[in-house]
Chains A and B, each alone.
Chain A
Amino acid sequence: MSWWQSALSAADLLGLFAHFLVLSLLAIGGAITTAPDMHRYVVAEHQWISDAQFIASIAIAQAAPGPNVLFVAVIGWNVAGPLGALATMAGTLLPSTALTLLVSRWGAQRRETRGVRAFTTGLTPLTIGLLVATGWLLARPYVTGGTHALGAIALVAGAIAGMLRTKLSPMWLVAVGALVGALGWV
């Protein structure tokens, strides 16, 4: 298979696009909160990519410069090459972009109304639950089994502490992770 050819049929590509289209509107608190559902769709349900490939997609996007939402393009690329990346990125960006432009023109001044406040108050706990779920999903294959489970747990805990207790840029924490991993400790 050449790099530009898609591993998926047109119908599957459309399904991928449609799924990310829906997720775009459910991305409360950022695109990363929909990662568990992307995983459910492309790994668990369709088995287009492996657990390790999914996690590597997010790791690569976090390590590279630019907004973290690009992990969506990497997942699409790993599933079906350039067309896959196009499907997932367009699906993720189109609905939220249209909505953002509409709402910001409609007026930021309605931010303090009861409806908007009820929306944020009610959904904040869900956002937090989704973030923990995303972290769990990324760490699960390595912390619940494998030969280096203890090292993996220590690395996750170290990253949490480094982020909360120091002012280190996340970039350095990711670099430490790469080093520890390359040495075969996790």
Chain B
Amino acid sequence: MSAAAGEGETAARPASAADLFFTFNRLALQGFGGVLAVAQRELVERKQWLSRAQFVEMLALSQVLPGPNVVNLALMLGDRFFGLRGAIAALGGMLLVPLFIVIALTAAYAEFSRLAVVAGALRGMGLVAAGLIIATAIRLMSTLGSNRLGPALAATFAGLTFVTIALLRWPLVWVVAGLGSVAVAVAWRRLR
């Protein structure tokens, strides 16, 4: 952990909006099963456009905001260096080529889904995707212990969310507006 990658100013910045586009394009194409880990390596360790502290701060903010985290991160970084033009370049670099790849795969799947081998492979991949998402949830559960709501109340909110969404199939907008408001209000009271 060198000082250069720690706090403070960073050594480098993107040369142009095109540089942003191609950098984000390259890191998106390396990101199988998610881009975040690759983004950290490319932007902080290799390009040094952000210090580690800046990266974590930007990530925290992009997680508070609604929307896909890595997309929010790309927008913020692009905006920081080249304003709206940079934000669009970073976003386009991240999404454009992967979008064509994934659509091509979808079209191919539609063509071959009648083959038992293809349908089976997709079923297996879907089950692994389920496992990966549940594993992410389990990792995040460790943060509930230090949640200022208290572990019991935090777990109750998580459990109620699961029951209302997965089992009762209530619309998400009700759950976030109802349960979410209560949770934020309780947190507000406890955070003085």
Interface residues, chain A, CB within 8 Å of chain B?
Answer: 3, 22-32, 34, 36-37, 40, 44, 52, 55-70, 73-74, 77-78, 85, 89, 92-93, 95-97, 99-101, 103-105, 108, 111, 114-139, 142-143, 152, 155-160, 162-164, 169-171, 173-174, 176-186
B residues less than 8 Å from A143 (CB atoms)? 127
Q: Is B165 an interface position by the 8 A CB rule?
A: yes
The answer to whether B148 touches A67 (Cβ under 8 A) is no
The answer to whether A135 touches B66 (Cβ under 8 A) is no
Q: Least Cβ distance of A46 to chain B in Å? A: 14
Q: Least Cβ distance of A110 to chain B in Å? A: 10
Q: Main secondary structure on chain B at its contact with chain A?
A: helix
The answer to whether A66 touches B147 (Cβ under 8 A) is no
Contact of B147 among A37, A59, A121, A158 (CB under 8 A): A121
Interface residues, chain B, CB within 8 Å of chain A?
Answer: 28-35, 57-58, 60-72, 75-76, 79-80, 84, 87, 91, 94-95, 97-99, 101-103, 105-107, 109-110, 113, 116-141, 143-144, 147-149, 154-162, 165-166, 169, 171-173, 175-176, 179-180, 183-188, 190-192
The answer to whether A60 touches B172 (Cβ under 8 A) is no
Contact of B165 among A32, A64, A69, A130 (CB under 8 A): A130
The answer to whether B134 touches A160 (Cβ under 8 A) is yes
Taken together as a complex, chains A and B put the C-alpha atoms of A146 and B169 apart, in Å, by: 22
The answer to whether B149 touches A121 (Cβ under 8 A) is yes
Taken together as a complex, chains A and B put the C-alpha atoms of A157 and B180 apart, in Å, by: 30
A residues less than 8 Å from B99 (CB atoms)? 66, 70, 73, 89
A residues less than 8 Å from B130 (CB atoms)? 134-139, 156, 159
The answer to whether B106 touches A78 (Cβ under 8 A) is yes
The answer to whether A176 touches B122 (Cβ under 8 A) is no
The answer to whether B155 touches A125 (Cβ under 8 A) is yes
Q: Contacts A100-B62, A133-B165, A135-B134 given; indicate if A126 touches B67 (C-beta within 8 A).
A: no
Taken together as a complex, chains A and B put the C-alpha atoms of A176 and B33 apart, in Å, by: 13
Contact of A59 among B76, B125, B141 (CB under 8 A): B125
The answer to whether A129 touches B147 (Cβ under 8 A) is no
Q: Least Cβ distance of A48 to chain B in Å? A: 14
A residues less than 8 Å from B125 (CB atoms)? 59-60, 62-63, 174, 177-178, 181
B residues less than 8 Å from A85 (CB atoms)? 103
A residues less than 8 Å from B158 (CB atoms)? 125-126, 128-129, 132
9 A-B pairs closest in CB distance: A181-B124, A96-B67, A66-B98, A159-B131, A129-B161, A170-B33, A177-B128, A122-B184, A163-B135
Taken together as a complex, chains A and B put the C-alpha atoms of A133 and B69 apart, in Å, by: 19
Taken together as a complex, chains A and B put the C-alpha atoms of A131 and B192 apart, in Å, by: 29
Taken together as a complex, chains A and B put the C-alpha atoms of A85 and B165 apart, in Å, by: 25
Taken together as a complex, chains A and B put the C-alpha atoms of A7 and B119 apart, in Å, by: 23
